[in-house]
Amino acid sequence: MQILPGMELQLVEREVFSLVDLGTPGLAAGVYSGGDALLTTAAGTACVEFGVPIDADTRFDIASASKQFTAACVLLLARDGRLSLDDDVRTHVPELNLAVPVTLRQCLQHTGGLPEWYAVVALTGHPLEGMNEQRLLEVLAGLRTTTFAPGTDFSYSNTGYVLSAVVVRRVSGQSLAAFARERLFAPLGMDDSVFRDDASLPLPRLAYGYANEEGVPLRADTQESVVGAGGLVSSVRDLAPWFGFLADGRVLGTDLRDALLERAVLADGTVLPYAFGVYHHEVAGRPAFGHAGGVPGYLSDLLYLPSEDLGLAVLSNQRVIDPLALNDRLARLLLGEPPASLRGCPCPGTRTGTTP
């Protein structure tokens, strides 16, 4: 287990506890190195109504941070030779009526110009409650135009990841949840991680989601059962093996890890910070990559600094504390750098691409 010089893990615990009042929704945080959790800590309650405390095994909806796991599933199928990232998505989903080809690579790297599905269903009057993959696909089949010529620009859209989940089902014969369980989570030993493709089913140790209005927590659980763009449920303890994979490709292969980190390139040669479900950026002058997420009742952020082999995860069941800003602050504390205030840290729009 690698311990970074000057690391003060107590600072992380102190910071987390300072942010959450007793009896309110809260968060869990993890610090990782060498594929192990150096620290897991939690504050607040998973269920305000019954006073159930959050701990390292509490599961949260990690929202758009799920995208790296969906991308890994598609990359596995590409490695198996069962599809190509340059396939037109219509090859696998022929009911789509898009007038121009959009590749799987463009779906996963947000360069296909696909309209955002949340906006589409709002305009068409379809309710989020009870929305599942098949119902949404029937809506998306009506799309004919893209917002720009595919491959010429970047626009974050959850639609490409939903379609990628459909492709996984069509090509593998398994749902994204089943395929990810068999090819990602079981090999890595991530027994608590699952794509929640039926939000109506009770899930053990899942924190209830809350919003906040004038200091009063209000229930705000996830309504839809669409996965791919989001929908992964996990815990800070269960994420440790994933950070080990991000470090050196263990278990799943360095080729898969390297493919996941390959940046998008536009038709004019512009290299983008987005790869496959992760954004490349810097923290305290050091290279980093990660992804945050947000859905009603939940926020999350997964962050990894490869030069330090330092991973951080913040998962929450409230929307008051920004996990992305908190992770930036925690990373600086652990690196012995001057920590930015939570208000001064990057806002969610800088690298989250969160779902509404």
CB 293 within 8 A of CB 355: yes
What does the alpha-carbon distance between residue 192 and residue 285 come to, in Å, rounded to a whole number?
Answer: 34
Q: Is 222 exposed, middle or buried (0-12, 13-18, 19+ CB in 10 A)?
A: buried
Q: Which pLDDT value is given to residue 102?
A: 98
Q: Which pLDDT value is given to residue 7?
A: 57
Q: Which pLDDT value is given to residue 97?
A: 95
Q: Reduced to 3 states, what is the DSSP secondary structure of residue 277?
A: coil
Q: Which pLDDT value is given to residue 87?
A: 98
**Domain made up of 9-350: CATH architecture:** 3-Layer(aba) Sandwich (3.40)
Residues 6+ apart with CB under 8 A from 50: none
Could you tell me which residues are beta bridge partners of residue 211?
A: 218
Q: Where along the chain do its domains lie?
A: 9-350
Q: Reduced to 3 states, what is the DSSP secondary structure of residue 76?
A: helix
CA-to-CA separations, 209 to 59, 77, 177, 223, in angstroms, rounded? 11, 33, 21, 11
The helix, strand and coil proportions of the chain, stated in percent and rounded to the nearest 5, come to 30, 20, 45
φ, ψ dihedrals at 341, nearest 5°: -70, 160
Q: What is the DSSP string of 157-211?
A: -THHHHHHHHHHHHHHSS-HHHHHIIIIIHHHT-TT-EE---TTS--TTBPPPEE
φ, ψ dihedrals at 79, nearest 5°: -65, -35
Could you tell me which residues are beta bridge partners of residue 281?
A: 288
Could you tell me which residues are beta bridge partners of residue 302?
A: 291, 313
Q: Which pLDDT value is given to residue 157?
A: 95
What does the alpha-carbon distance between residue 344 and residue 73 come to, in Å, rounded to a whole number?
Answer: 35
What does the alpha-carbon distance between residue 38 and residue 42 come to, in Å, rounded to a whole number?
Answer: 14
Q: Reduced to 3 states, what is the DSSP secondary structure of residue 341?
A: coil
Q: Which residue has the tokens 């396939």?
A: 87
Which uninterrupted H or E stretch holds 328? helix 323-334
Encode the chain (356 residues) as per-residue pLDDT tens digits: 344 544 578 888 888 988 998 889 999 999 999 999 999 999 999 999 999 999 999 999 999 999 999 999 999 999 999 999 999 999 999 999 999 999 999 999 999 999 997 788 777 777 667 778 888 888 899 999 999 999 999 999 999 999 999 999 999 999 999 999 999 999 999 999 999 999 889 999 999 999 987 778 999 987 789 999 999 999 999 999 999 999 999 999 999 999 999 999 999 999 999 999 999 999 999 999 999 999 999 999 999 999 999 999 999 999 999 999 999 999 999 998 888 776 534 333 344 444 43
What is the CB neighbour count within 10 angstroms for residue 113? 23
pLDDT in tens, 128-156: 677 788 888 888 999 999 999 999 999 99
What does the alpha-carbon distance between residue 115 and residue 124 come to, in Å, rounded to a whole number?
Answer: 13
CA-to-CA separations, 14 to 9, 11, 329, 352, in angstroms, rounded? 9, 5, 13, 25
